[in-house]
Amino acid sequence: MQDGNSFDYIVVGAGSAGCVLAERLSASGRHRVLLIEAGGRDRNIWIHIPLGYGKLFTDARVNWLYQTEPEPELKGRRVIQPRGKVLGGSSSINGLLYVRGQREDFDHWRQLGNAGWSFDDVLPYFRQAEDQQRGADDLHGAGGPLCVSDVEPHPLCEAFIAASEQAGFPRNDDFNGPTQEGAGYYQLTARNGRRCSTARGYLKPALKRPNLKVVSEALATRILFDGKRAVGVEYRHHGMLVQARAAGEIVLCGGAFNSPQILQLSGVGPGDLLKSHGIEVRHEMPGVGADLQDHFQTRFQYRCTERITVNDTMASFTRQVGAALNYAINRKGPLSIGAGYAGGFFKTDPSLASPDVQIHFILFTAESVGQKLHPFPGFLASICQLRPHSRGTVHIKSANPEEAPAIQANYLSAAFDRDVMVAGMKLTRKIMSQPAIARYVAEEMNPGPSVMSDEQFLAFARDKGTTVFHPVSTCRMGPDANAVVDERLRVRGLDGLRVADGSIMPSLVSGNTNAAIIMIAEKAAAMMLKDAMRPAAAA
C-alpha cells in the first residue's frame, strides 16, 4: 500500500463535472486538490475534431464501452452505453450539443423539495460557465471556460427547419433562449472548429497550479471511512494500491454509472446487494443505483436525392482531402459538425405546456452508431422522448472494481413512454413529408413506408431503438427516504462526502445533459467553498 498524501479535497472522476470541480476548488490557491481519473490524457486527435466523436464509440482507450443488460421491452437486446474514460470524460467523446433543458425542468426540481435548484437559482451557474459566441445577455454568459458556438448553415438543415414550419411549428434560433419549442440549429461546445471539453476549457488552464494534483490512469476502488465520515480514497495506479486522505471533503464525479458503483463497492447502498457480493454494509441506502433514467431514441434514415451529405464526403477520396484542407485552413466544413446539426423540440399534443420530444437532424447515415457510413447520400432524423417515466438500476456485479456494473435501463417499460414514442415517430413522419424536405428524400429506408400503424411504429422502436446517451438520477437528490444526496449534494447520513454529476438529477432534463451537468458542478463548487468558509461549529 502506498501513501498518496493528504489533500483538502479529493475529486473522483475527471469528467464533465470533475474537471469543473478541480478548477474551481483549486482556483484560490488555498486548497490542496487531488483529481483522480481512471482514463488517460486527452491526446487522441479525434477527441478535438468535432466529427471525430464517431470514431470514439468503439475505442476502448477513451471509452468504457458499457452496455445494458438484456432489455425486456426491446426483445432482449443489449443497448450500448458509451461513457468517457479520459480526461474530460464524456465531454471529450460526446456529440458536443449545448442544450440546457427547459426552465420547467429546474423549477420541478425545486418543487420536489430541492431548495436552491429552481431555474432562477441555477441560471447564474449556466451563465458563469458559458463563453457564448453571440455575447452575453440575461440568459447567456461570455468569458466563461466553456465555449459555445454557432454552426454553418446547410441546405438540408434549412430544408428541415422550413419543413417544421410547414408542419405548424415555429423556427427557434436559440434552444436555450426564452422558449425551447421549435426547429433550428444546435449550438456546439466548440470554438474555431475544436471541441471544448471540460478538460480543455476548465482543467488545462489549471494544470500548472501547485495546489492541484491530477492522477490519470488511476481507478478508484473504494472510499475510506472513519465511522460515518469519509476520510480518503483508495485507487489503483500502475499496479499499485494508493490511499489518499482528505482533510476536507471527497466529491464523486463518476457519472450515473460509476458514482453508484464506487458507493456500492465502499459499502454504501442496498444492503442485500452488498451482502450478496461479500461487501460489509457501512451505510444502508436503497436509493444508490436506483431511479436510472435515460433518453431513448429511434432513427428515421433517408436516402438523399443530392450528394450533399457527410456520406458523400467520406465516400470520395477527393472530397475527403477537400474536407481535411477546409478544416485545417478554415476550421470549417464536415469535420467541424457535431452529433446534431439542426433539430428541434416539439409537442406531440398541442395542449401540452412544453415540448415533450426532441429531434436530432444529422447529415449522415450508417447501420448503427459508430459504424461505417453508407456509400450513398443519406441523412437521418432521430426522435426521443424528453421526460420518460421508465426507471432502471445500476448495480455492481461483484466486489471487483474493474468489473462493469449491471446497467438495466428498462426502456419502454412504462406505457406512457411507449405512447409518447409512437406519437413522436408519427410527428417525425409528418415533418419529413413536408414539401421543403421531401424534395431531398429519395427513399425512407427506416422505418420504411410499410410502417404505418401505431403497432408497427412501436415494433420498430423495440427492434431498432437505442439510447441518446443521457443516463442520470442513480444518486438522486431529494428530501425523501430514497434520495441519496440532499440539496447541497451531501450523501445523506455520511459526513465529508458529496456527489456532483448527472447522477444527482431528480429527473431527466428536457434535452442533452452535458450543459446541465457542468452547471451542477459549478454550483457544487460554490457550495463547497462557501461551506469551507464557515467556522467548524457552524458547519
Tens of pLDDT, residue by residue over 61-120, are 999 999 999 999 999 999 999 999 999 999 999 999 999 999 999 999 999 999 999 999
* Residue 534: per-residue pLDDT: 75
* Residue 539: per-residue pLDDT: 43
The pairing of strands 283-284 and 268-269 is parallel
More confident residue, 333 or 150: 150
Strand ranges for 279-403 from DSSP E: 283-284, 296-304, 342-346, 357-362, 378-385, 393-395
**Most distant pair of Cα atoms in the chain: their distance:** 71
Beta bridge partners of 251: 11, 498
Cα–Cα distance for residue pair 522/533, rounded to 1 Å:
17
Upper half-sphere CA count for residue 247 (Cβ side, 13 Å): 9
Cα 5–chain centre separation: 32
What amino acid occupies position 222?
R
Is 455 part of any domain?
A: yes
Cα–Cα distance for residue pair 174/182, rounded to 1 Å:
9
Is 91 part of any domain?
A: yes
Of residues 16, 155, 95, the one with CA closest to residue 437: 155
Helix axes 155-166, 415-432, angle to 10 degrees: 110
Look at residue 16 and tell me whether its pLDDT is greater than 80. Answer: yes
Beta bridge partners of 246: 7
Residues 499 and 372 in one domain: no
Catalytic entry in 108, 283, 295, 470? 470
Q: Domain holding 416: CATH number?
A: 3.30.410.40
Of residues 174, 180, 201, 188, the one with CA closest to residue 119: 180
Per the CB < 8 A criterion, the answer to whether 39 and 62 are in contact is: yes
Upper half-sphere CA count for residue 145 (Cβ side, 13 Å): 25
Q: Residue 217 is placed in which grid cell?
A: 490512469
Percent of the chain with pLDDT over 90: 91
Band (pLDDT 50/70/90 cuts) for residue 537 is: very low
Residue 177 DSSP SS3: coil
Cα 184–chain centre separation: 21
Q: How far is CA 446 from CA 179, 310, 348, 382, 441, in A?
A: 31, 18, 21, 11, 12
Cα–Cα distance for residue pair 385/296, rounded to 1 Å:
7
Residues 136 and 254 in one domain: yes
Cβ within 8 Å of residue 23, ≥6 positions away: 145, 202, 203, 205, 206
- Give the CA angle between residues 5, 498, 469 to the nearest 5°: 110
Is 407 part of any domain?
A: no
Residues 167 and 38 in one domain: no
Range of the domain at 346: 152-185+296-385+412-464
Percent of the chain with pLDDT over 70: 98
Look at residue 480 and tell me whether its pLDDT is greater than 90. Answer: yes
Residues 52 and 12 in one domain: yes
Band (pLDDT 50/70/90 cuts) for residue 294 is: very high
Cα–Cα distance for residue pair 397/406, rounded to 1 Å:
6
Cα–Cα distance for residue pair 162/434, rounded to 1 Å:
9
Is 390 part of any domain?
A: no
Is 400 part of any domain?
A: no
pTM: 0.96
Is 365 part of any domain?
A: yes
76 dihedral zone (left: phi>0; alpha: psi -120 to 50; beta): left
Residues 142 and 156 in one domain: no
**Residue 201 has what DSSP assignment?**
I
- Element spanning 246, H or E: strand 240-252
* Residue 19: per-residue pLDDT: 98
Is 527 part of any domain?
A: yes
What's the average model confidence in pLDDT over 335-346?
A: 94
What amino acid occupies position 94?
N
Per the CB < 8 A criterion, the answer to whether 245 and 231 are in contact is: yes
Cα–Cα distance for residue pair 233/4, rounded to 1 Å:
9
* Domain finish residue from 464, 490, 507: 464
* Domain finish residue from 432, 464, 496: 464
Per the CB < 8 A criterion, the answer to whether 350 and 280 are in contact is: no
Residue 422 DSSP SS3: helix
Look at residue 275 and tell me whether its pLDDT is greater than 90. Answer: yes
Residues 200-229 have pLDDT tens digits of 999 999 999 999 999 999 999 999 999 999
Cα 517–chain centre separation: 7
Mean pLDDT over each residue of the chain, to the nearest integer? 96
Residues 501 and 518 in one domain: yes
Residues 238 and 129 in one domain: yes
Residue 230 DSSP SS3: strand
Please tell me the least confidently modeled range out of 233-242, 315-324, 338-347, 485-494: 315-324
Per the CB < 8 A criterion, the answer to whether 252 and 12 are in contact is: yes
Residues 273 and 176 in one domain: no
Residues 130 and 169 in one domain: no
Of residues 119, 125, 122, the one with CA closest to residue 141: 125
Residues 142 and 241 in one domain: yes
Is 398 part of any domain?
A: no
* Residue 535: per-residue pLDDT: 64
* Domain finish residue from 402, 433, 464: 464
Helix axes 514-533, 18-26, angle to 10 degrees: 30
What amino acid occupies position 49?
I
Q: 470 catalytic, yes or no?
A: yes
Residues 201 and 88 in one domain: yes
Residues 178 and 200 in one domain: no
Q: Domain holding 488: CATH number?
A: 3.50.50.60
Band (pLDDT 50/70/90 cuts) for residue 482 is: very high
Cα 180–chain centre separation: 19
In the chain, how many domains are there? 2
Look at residue 251 and tell me whether its pLDDT is greater than 80. Answer: yes
Residue 440: how many other CB atoms lie within 10 Å: 21
Look at residue 532 and tell me whether its pLDDT is greater than 50. Answer: yes
Look at residue 1 and tell me whether its pLDDT is greater than 90. Answer: no
